[in-house]
Structure 1
Amino acid sequence: MTDLTATAYHGHAHATPVGTVRLDYEGRFLRRKVLSLTDGRALLVDLPKTTSLDHGGVLVTSEGEIAIEAAPEPLLEITAPDLTRIAWHVGNRHTPCQIESGRLLIQPDHVIADMLARLGATAREVLEPFTPEGGAYGHGRTHSHDHGHSAHNHAH
């Protein structure tokens, strides 16, 4: 049995949240799923379509809003003397990337890390929340070209 049901999502809070859910990057892409709030209550998420939930966004329930927090997860911190050039190579591979002043954060990928090392970058493992840039038109996810379990159509 669930304590709450969320049927809508907003990109920012409108009121003081009545609960919080912490999810990693993959966990923030869903349509229907039971989640555990930080206080132990169960939340059924039942959205009309699969949605990318952003850190700072909220799920809407009849009891109020549930805050979404990005949970720490294993990432690669990328630094380099010419970070702009490295960012271009990461983006050229459609790899989700969090861009900050002086560093990039990506999900662990030994092939990308090896390529970036050959280009003069340094990669180190970190455990941090992951909030990569959205899609080119200001919403949605950047999808990799991995056609495994999350294949997508290139006719956007």
Structure 2
Amino acid sequence: MDDYPNAVRIHSHVHHACDTVALDYEGRFLRRKRLVAASGRGFLVDLPEVTNLTGVEAFVLEDGREIAVQAAPEPVLVVRGDLARLAWHIGNRHTPCQIAADCLVIRQDHVLEAMLAKLGADVSRDTRPFTPEGGAYGMGRTMGHSHGHDHDHAHDHHP
């Protein structure tokens, strides 16, 4: 089967998609990468800068066709309990978190799962699309605990 032409830009909303591509949280952070759509046809994403996709956009191909981006299901932890307190602990560990009215959702991590259970949370495993809150600094992502390659510091992660 032939490949699609390259994807050269993104629409913030899908208009008339000819295909779809499902990407997990990590996969939705890209600039240049070869992807395979649901139809099995490949295409190269070649964007001018690193882009953080949320799962509601569409790649625009060189010929004008669109491929809709979907958030792929992935292993997550669903956290219930004292959500404000639990969200503080999750955020203090620089962990991406999806916030709903009745639960918090984070990617599966056995260390965080044990910590949250110790804090009294009701934690269950699930597989679902993960669409965490965007970061406060423009990219829509937290930097993770390392804060990037050139950032070294110490700080207390306990209340």
Length-normalised TM-score, structure 1: 0.87
Aligned length: 150
Aligned-pair distance for 1:87? Answer: 0.9
Counterpart mapping for 1:15-94 below 5 A: 15-61=15-61, 62-80=63-81, 82-94=82-94
Counterpart mapping for 1:95-114 below 5 A: 95-114=95-114
The alignment-based identity, stated in percent, is 53
Length-normalised TM-score, structure 2: 0.85
CA RMSD of aligned residues (A): 1.9
Aligned-pair distance for 1:78? Answer: 0.8
Aligned-pair distance for 1:107? Answer: 0.9
Does the aligned pair in 2 maintain the 1:20–1:38 contact within 8 Å?
yes
**Which residue does 1:121 correspond to in 2?**
121
Does the aligned pair in 1 maintain the 2:133–2:140 contact within 8 Å?
no
Can you give the 5+ residue segments of structure 2 that lack an aligned partner in the other structure?
153-159
Does the aligned pair in 1 maintain the 2:32–2:44 contact within 8 Å?
yes
Change (3 A) 1:17 1:154: farther
Q: Deviations over 1:92-132 (max 9, x none)?
A: 21101111111111111122122211211121110101111
Instruction: Work out which of the two has the higher radius of gyration on C-alpha atoms and give 1 or 2.
Output: 2
**Which residue does 2:7 correspond to in 1?**
6
Can you give the 5+ residue segments of structure 1 that lack an aligned partner in the other structure?
none
Does the aligned pair in 1 maintain the 2:56–2:70 contact within 8 Å?
yes
Q: Which AA in structure 2 matches 1:22?
A: A
Q: Distance in 2 between matches of 1:138 and 1:56?
A: 18
Does the aligned pair in 2 maintain the 1:11–1:54 contact within 8 Å?
no
Q: Which AA in structure 2 matches 1:99?
A: I
Does the aligned pair in 2 maintain the 1:9–1:57 contact within 8 Å?
yes
Does the aligned pair in 2 maintain the 1:74–1:126 contact within 8 Å?
yes
